[in-house]
Chain A
Amino acid sequence: MEFTYGLLTGLIPGLAGAPSWVLVALGGLIPAFITFNFVGLGPIIYVYAERKISAFMQDRLGPMRVGPYGLLQTIADAIKLLFKEAIFPAGVDKLLFLVAPIIVVTGSFLPFVVIPWGARLQAVDLNVGVFYVSAVSSLATVGLIMAGWASDNKYALFGAMRSAAQIVSYEIPSVMALLTVVMMAGSLSLQDIVRGQAGGLQNWYLFRYFPLMPIAFLTFFTAGLAECNRTPFDIPEAESELVAGFHTEYSGFFFAMFFLAEYTEMFVISSVASVLFLGGFHAPHPSLQAIGALGLGWFWLLLKAWFLIFVMMWLRWTLPRLRVDQLMHVAWKVLLPISFVLVVVVGGLVLKWPAGFPWDRWVGWPITLVLMGFLIVGMIRAISWSRRRTEELLA
């Protein structure tokens, strides 16, 4: 916020003598405006990416008709959704029905207040940042239950109840996995947590206490997937069981709001995971941090978050949906014990060896290189196989 003040008074000298409430209002409104637009328009990209990635993974082409390579498809869909009639079916509780999507969207947008895009590029550096994120991101559950209850539809109510059960269950392992990071950083402020990971890839919390923190990351990521109702855990809106889950009765703009909230939550989980585990706005190597005059912090955070979103989509088109009992099994019998053990063990290790294991200084690099190597080799082999196969078929 101080950064915004400095920028404002630097750009418009007349503002320096303005009363403080003007400065506070401007300093709050301008970042809010930028963040809101950036986050609100993001789903257009994510929906397009999702459709394209799903198509490519199924050997299809995906949207190709609207604009070059179907680039304008989601814009057309968004316009269509905005202009559609919002239907209020008979029997709905109108007030709750209206308020529910607003709450869901608000809950998914609020975490962006504290996400640090750079050392100073952050709306507010709350000293309880991690706590704030996990608190407001579960606000969406209230909206989902409201939507399900107000719809007066058994499918919607089923979906809402399932989502409540799911989010309550998965909140615990995700918060416990966050606690390990908080113990290592010694602070709840996201800015402090990112500062603790400066200096390259080997310092990221993902690679601390080597076999332990990757497990914490996987726990957090899995629980995060469940919290934003992504596919292996999408039973609240299971198309083949419940018609569309909690948003069965919604149409037009209100449906679009649920859609927006879902994709925004994906981005929230991804960016929080990259802030906490993948070094936030720090580049993999300090020499990559500032190319040119601009500090490219936002670029690196965006890259990491988008990579994690890609992994979410990748998982979605790989895994089938879990059953309800399997979902509860994963939450309470697998992730919960793992995260509790991690909290205890990592807590002890932080007390005993605050600097981490001796191999933590270098172990991140070989792992990253091996993973990237696997991906690139798989890509090259797939491309060459496809080319050979095409030639065989044409011959």
Chain B
Amino acid sequence: MKRWFTDLWEGFWTVVIGMKVTWRHLFTRSVTLQYPDVKWQLPPRTRMRLFMKYEDCIGCGQCVRACPVSCIYLKADKRPTTEPAIFAANGQPIKLDVHVFDIDMSLCCYCNLCTYPCPTDCIYMTPEYEFATTDLTHHLYHFAKKDAKFLTLNPKAAAAPPKPAPPAPPAAPAPQAPPSPPPASPAGA
């Protein structure tokens, strides 16, 4: 009989405690962001839509091999030696002509694995997330450009010569040699 009363009181009192909690929350500020009007500032390393800087791509295909869902399509031919030499932003010579570089974002699983092996850091994920479309094929992004403006001068070579120039006695290989040291530094970076 005593148990009945203690249970009854406990039931009543726990309801009162619960009501206290909800009463408190009734007056606290809401945490809702009204999405289209107010947007959350995403951190810069957020993994959203993939982006590829075509001018820096050397067509090595390491991202294609890294992709677990095979959503990157790459087609590249050997660049004729007759054409002027072009370079990626980190100084790597671009020896392949990339004709097709497509990424199917509807297949992408946002794992970020493609960005690690890239020797020129030209593929990366952006905080851009509003790319819903009514047609699934719009999620196939074409990154290869016909009118891409490639670097015709080695950007690293301009900075590199002052350093190797004093110790190196032969001045003849200077224009061709610098491309070889830079790959070592970005690969390690």
Contacts and interface: CB of A to CB of B under 8 A. Distances in A.
Given A314-B19, A318-B19, A319-B15, A60 B32 contact: yes
A388 B121 CA distance: 44
Interface string B1-40: 0000000100110010011111111111111101000000
A318 B32 contact: no
Chain A contact residues: helix, strand, loop or mixed:
helix
A58 B32 CA distance: 10
A57 B26 contact: yes
B23 A314 contact: yes
A334 B8 contact: yes
A359 interface: no
Contacts of B22: 57, 314, 317-318
Interface in A158-210: none
Chain B contact residues: helix, strand, loop or mixed:
helix
Interface residues of B, number: 20
B24 A56 contact: no
A378 B30 contact: no
Contact of A378 (B18, B24, B31, B34): B24
A41 interface: no
A26 interface: no
B157 to A, nearest CB: 49
Interface string B44-88: 000000000000000000000000000000000000000000000
A121 interface: no
B109 to A, nearest CB: 30
Contacts of B8: 334
B28 A318 contact: no
B30 A55 contact: yes
Given A314-B19, A318-B22, A379-B23, A386 B32 contact: no
Contacts of A357: none
Contact of B15 (A56, A318, A379): A318
Given A318-B15, A319-B15, A334-B8, A378 B28 contact: no
A257 to B, nearest CB: 30
A315 B19 CA distance: 7
Contacts, number: 65
B30 A57 contact: no
Nearest to A337: B4
A385 B20 CA distance: 15
B34 A382 contact: no
A61 interface: yes
Most central of A55, A318, A390 by chain B CB within 10 Å: A318
Nearest to A316: B22
Contacts of B12: 218
A318 B20 CA distance: 9
B77 to A, nearest CB: 53
A318 B29 contact: no
Contacts of A387: 29
B26 A382 contact: yes
Contacts of A378: 20, 23-24, 27
Contact of A379 (B11, B27, B30): B27
A382 B15 contact: no
Contacts of B32: 59-61
A382 B31 CA distance: 15
A58 B19 contact: no
Interface in B114-162: none
A382 B30 contact: no
A389 B29 CA distance: 9
A98 B92 CA distance: 78
A375 B28 CA distance: 14
Most central of A59, A381, A387 by chain B CB within 10 Å: A59
A15 interface: no
Nearest to B31: A59
A381 B24 contact: yes
A56 B26 contact: yes
A327 to B, nearest CB: 13
Contacts of A296: none
A382 B18 contact: no
A124 interface: no
B26 A386 contact: no
Interface string A354-395: 000000000000000000000100110111011101100000
Contact of A58 (B11, B25, B34): B25
Given A59-B30, A319-B15, 6 more contacts: A56-B30, A59-B29, A61-B32, A315-B19, A378-B20, A382-B26
Interface of A: 53, 55-61, 64, 218, 314-315, 317-319, 334, 375, 378-379, 381-383, 385-387, 389-390
Interface of B: 8, 11-12, 15, 18-32, 34
5 contacts: A56-B25, A59-B32, A60-B32, A334-B11, A382-B23
